[in-house]
Amino acid sequence: MGWGVKPTGRAPILIRPATRADDDSVWRVIEPMIREGETYPLARDMTREAALAHFFKAEHEMFIAESGGAALGAYYLRANSTGPASHVANCGYVTATEARGRGVARAMCLHSLERARARGFRAMQFNLVISTNEVAVHLWQACGFTIVGRLPGAFNSPRHGYVDALVMYQAL
């Protein structure tokens, strides 16, 4: 069963669990992000197989956002750590290039917060939000996250060189 959000004037965004039958759609969403190299600490020459294995890890609960049958985004939800720190969730979101600015990332974030609460997580933490990804920083703040740390020069951006990464957190 999916979860839907209807942005003004657009078909609803349906968010549903992803399966390996969605590999082609997920790859179409994540490949441009990987090749761009500006938002995730993944090798820009990462293969399709390695990228899909990363996103579909056994410990990841994987979701796909779609509208009218087209994949608009994908995200995973997982525990940020293990043992006594396993009550804190972590997510990785990717919006399809052509779907940016349409509310997809916001819908996925809100869905993930709801899903994390349902799974019993007490907080959510983003470990590496790239400071030059200002759209994401502002969106996560609008969704209730605060910046709790700054990692100077932690990310080597192809476009900007070494930039800071932010740690963002929200109690659930």
* Matching residue, tokens 């293990």: 82
Q: What is the DSSP letter of 11?
A: P
24-44 per-position pLDDT tens digit: 999 999 999 999 999 999 999
β strands within 33-98, DSSP E: 61-67, 70-79, 88-95
90-133 per-position pLDDT tens digit: 999 999 999 999 999 999 999 999 999 999 999 999 999 999 99
Listed in sequence order, the residues at least 6 apart from 28 whose beta carbon sits closer than 8 Å to its beta carbon are: 71, 96
**All domains of the chain in start order, with CATH:** 3-122 (3.40.630.30)
Res 11: pLDDT: 74
Centre a 10 Å sphere on the Cβ of residue 126 and count the other Cβ atoms it contains: 24
- Residue 7: pLDDT band with limits 50, 70, 90: very low
